[in-house]
Amino acid sequence: MARIKQQLLQTEDRRRRATCLGELAQDGIEVFCWCNRCGHNAVVETARLIAELGPDFAVPEVGTRLRCSGCSGKDIATRPAWPGLGQVARHGQG
């Protein structure tokens, strides 16, 4: 019984770990950056970040290495720039 629980815990740990830049590059996804100070946001090319930080750098930690081009703040949040469905229109109609 202990082995099953250990395997489940290991699977859960792998699922919870932060995505790395190399994983985003494989899928062609860039990094979305948001300044918590002024609200400025931008999308940064993953290849550029990999060149500077390496492919094993965790995406949530990228913000610790950035500075906002709007206010020069260093409180930057980062996440994968997942592709969207475009602008959503006609809310509530259907």
Give me the CATH number covering residue 31.
2.20.28
- CA angle at 26 for the pair 87 and 24, rounded to the nearest 5°: 55
Q: Residues 58-75: pLDDT tens digits?
A: 999 999 999 999 999 999
Is position 3 within any domain?
no
CA 45 to chain centre: 12
Structural domain count of the chain: 1
Is position 63 within any domain?
yes
Rama region for 44: left / alpha / beta (φ>0; ψ in -120 to 50; rest): beta
- Domain residues for the domain of 28 are 18-80
Q: Cα separations (Å) of 85 from 25, 55, 79, 82, 94? A: 20, 27, 18, 10, 18
What global pTM score does this model have? 0.72
Q: Residues 15-28: pLDDT tens digits?
A: 777 889 999 999 99
Is position 2 within any domain?
no
Is position 10 within any domain?
no
